[in-house]
Structure 1
């Protein structure tokens, strides 16, 4: 790794030397880009000479904003020239007003000469191990590996607030979920065994009572009332039955073919589900007794 880092730094320094070897300007390319941005805003400022004997102090203003620029001390009220070493937009407006060049009034650290001085040193090339000179001293060897007693531990070190695992795998902890059909916990609608219970709607509000059987019976009574009301509005027409048909029996089939009332399909489905619930509740009571 160290050898790769050394080679990378050596290649980078050589590439930088080649890149700026034929640059004639006083500044580097990065500093010229910074000056171009400040030139764009310098056109909005107007310098005014205050009348000093040296002619180096100016008042630069724009729409009520005023700053002082001192070309002799290379200072400006905004402080950018003192901090970065590069003339700010106010100083650039003043320098161009006097006919000078802003790149000539930058700090020497930003010049191309300082850049070349930074890279005047280079990293010496290194030969491979097969070309190293042989000495009479013994070669360095790695330290002796000390093996501890006992069987090595394979489990990782757990934190203080982490639970210990008794088996090979950590049990997955699932959040408590509710069945979408019957409303009970620890199972879903696929594994629900309450077949007679209808599927609850999405915006279902749980009842205030805690007894599930009473809630089911209240739903059964409501479904029965709806079925009776729907059957009352339907006019019952007389049905003629032909007893001469060979495939009908008077005892079993006639009871199924002659309904007491004509029930609509929607009410008939509710009535079927309600009767199934009643039978289930009755079977449950018989089993408990």
Structure 2
């Protein structure tokens, strides 16, 4: 699922250039990646916390949500966290574990864990997994792409010139919208539709038009008589 989302996200960024020739498309992707690495590195260097801005926003929202949860400490490492509608979870801070499994799966403390962290006078921003560390992010983005000369200055290849493949036009309109995952819901189209009720201009009854009207102009507007 994660790999599919990454592929769809990347495919959405190259939606325009993927219709171009191979060399032009690859060069556009290279420039896009070079600029993206530069923008993300510059933004992270300006950020002062040990985590990124997106992770901070997630924790900020969960800190607000954690105010609805009441914690009970077992005097060792366990916390029983109880919240709205009788929900209850167990939190173990040393193991970075909550029985809701959100902390385990995402590496970011859930609202139950944050409630226990605050009870222990801790800092939830320091309890994220190391993969979200700012220094690690900058270390990864040290692998930059370097500028190159334009195509007119490229050396000529000694191989055989290859002709582009023959274009085969498939029937129907070519698809531009990405393919949805089977687990995604398709509510956008239904949300934008409006239900329109037509009225007959002869008899004024709803549900049919003048071409299908079995009565005539000036008739009594009774819906049952028109079917």
TM-score normalised by structure 2 residue count: 0.59
Distance verdict in 2 for CA 1:158–1:140, change over 3 Å: closer
Higher RCO structure, 1 or 2 (CA under 8 Å, sep 6+): 2
Answer 1 or 2: which has greater helix percent. 2
Runs of 4+ in 1 over 6 A off after TM superposition: 156-159
> What corresponds to 2:71 in structure 1?
47
Q: 1:201 aligns with which of 193, 210, 216?
A: 216
Any idea what SS the aligned residue of 2:79 has?
strand
Distance verdict in 2 for CA 1:144–1:30, change over 3 Å: closer
Any idea what SS the aligned residue of 2:64 has?
helix
* Cα distance in 1, alignment partners of residues 44 and 118 from structure 2: 27
* Cα distance in 1, alignment partners of residues 170 and 60 from structure 2: 58
Any idea what SS the aligned residue of 1:68 has?
strand
Tell me, yes or no, if structure 1 residue 141 matches structure 2 residue 156.
no
> What corresponds to 1:124 in structure 2?
146
What is the deviation of 1:45? 1.1
What is the deviation of 1:133? 4.5
Say which one has the larger Rg: 1
What is the deviation of 1:125? 1.6
TM-score normalised by structure 1 residue count: 0.47
* Cα distance in 1, alignment partners of residues 142 and 170 from structure 2: 52
Tell me, yes or no, if structure 1 residue 37 matches structure 2 residue 52.
no
Structure 2 segments unaligned to the other structure (5+ residues): 1-24, 173-201, 203-214
1:51-73 CA distances to partner (integer Å, 9 max, x unpaired)?
Answer: 3xxx2111111353321101111
> What corresponds to 1:100 in structure 2?
122
What is the deviation of 1:7? 0.9
1:167-209 CA distances to partner (integer Å, 9 max, x unpaired)?
Answer: xxxxxxxxxxxxx9xxxxxxxxxxxxxxxxxxx7235989xxx
Q: 2:133 aligns with which of 111, 123, 132?
A: 111
Tell me, yes or no, if structure 1 residue 18 matches structure 2 residue 28.
no
Distance verdict in 2 for CA 1:62–1:125, change over 3 Å: same
Matches within 5 A, 1:261-276: none
Superposition RMSD in Å: 3.3
Structure 1 segments unaligned to the other structure (5+ residues): 147-155, 160-179, 181-199, 207-289
* Cα distance in 1, alignment partners of residues 170 and 97 from structure 2: 61
Q: Number of paired residues?
A: 155
Q: 1:84 aligns with which of 100, 106, 115?
A: 106
